[in-house]
Structure 1
Amino acid sequence: MVEIVAYAKERLDLLLTCDVNSHHLVWSSTNINPKEESLFNFVMSAELHILNRGTEPTFLDFRKQEILNITLCTGGVVDLVEGWRVSSELSGSDHRQVRFALEQIQKEEKLGRNPRKTN
């Protein structure tokens, strides 16, 4: 993960939805321990943004409900993510689906021809 984030920061933007199986009060889990504090410190030192919103659990079973999935991104993506939410649809798993949309990016097209590709 450290290498992926380092590579992305130099070359591209990054958007990750992760089953971290990690509790932290920052993403509205019910508790925290040293393992989770380590993940949180990495997220902060890598300057990643946590996109989770609300307190809807991402994990449900007959014993407990918890937020174990987080969505992370680099700064260039944070304003493009819209409507982050935990879906109420059945997923076939004890983890619920995380849903969001990405704002459409308009690229300016440059028209022209390449004489080498002309038949």
Structure 2
Amino acid sequence: MARQPSQFLQTNLNHCAGAQDLLLQVLAQWQVDVAIVAEPYYVPTRTNWIGDMPGSIAIYTSEAGPPLVQRDRGQGFVAVDWGEYTIFGVYFSPNKNLAEFEDFLGELQAAALRAAPRPVLVAGDFNAKHSAWGSRVTDARGDAVLEWAIMTGLSLLNRGNAPTCVRHQGSSIVDLSFASPAVGDLVHDWRVVGDV
């Protein structure tokens, strides 16, 4: 019997309790195997949830799949081993400056390189804009993320130019997914899910 492909979901809950309740329902309905959750309302104290130190990013796994094993965590990122893969969840506040962002990317790069040679997936809200992932504008953070990805040996998984963040002030593409070549070759049907 062929193994079913794993279902991953990446989202930002904007610290909203109602959004987190809806997420829990969606995880069950869609049979999501792994979710990378930026700005959760809270990180449940369960073995299938692991968050970063301030609780700004968390990773969830269904209890039917491999367990999450914490590998690394810092301010704005968490890394877990899930079966043969290492998965990073990332959130970086738009309110911090470029120097802080570059320091953060340095820490994230070191953590990703420590995970080698395991296949790596990095996903989350970078709050960075670049035409490489469909943004209408490129900012200094976007340039820094692109350089970080190249230096870390990760490929961008985002496809198309559908906004990943829609607010009253407008929309943007700031939620990004990157993978090492071994993972990137396995990814099919990456898309932004709208109208949910």
TM-score (structure 2 length as normaliser): 0.43
Map of 1:86 onto structure 2: 192
- Tell me the SS of whatever aligns to 2:190: strand
- Tell me the SS of whatever aligns to 2:194: coil
Map of 1:60 onto structure 2: 166
Map of 1:76 onto structure 2: 182
Trace 1:1-119 onto structure 2 (pairs within 5 A): 1-8=108-115, 10-90=116-196
CA distance in 1, matches of 2:185, 2:166: 29
Summarize deviations over 1:58-92 as a string: whole Å, max 9, x none: 000111111110100001111111100001143xx
Q: How many residues were matched structurally?
A: 89
Summarize deviations over 1:23-69 as a string: whole Å, max 9, x none: 01100111112222111111111111000011110000111111110
- Tell me the SS of whatever aligns to 1:60: strand
Asked which structure has the greater RCO (Cα within 8 Å, sep 6+), the reply is 1
Show structure 1 runs of 5+ residues with no match: 91-119
Map of 1:97 onto structure 2: none
- Tell me the SS of whatever aligns to 2:147: helix
CA distance in 2, matches of 1:36, 1:52: 14
Give the greater-gyration-radius structure (CA). 1
Letter in 2 for 1:2: Q
CA distance in 2, matches of 1:37, 1:31: 11
Say which structure is richer in strand: 2
Letter in 2 for 1:6: L
CA distance in 2, matches of 1:89, 1:20: 23
- Tell me the SS of whatever aligns to 1:86: coil
Q: Which runs of 4+ in 1 moved over 3 A?
A: none
TM-score (structure 1 length as normaliser): 0.70
CA distance in 2, matches of 1:58, 1:85: 10
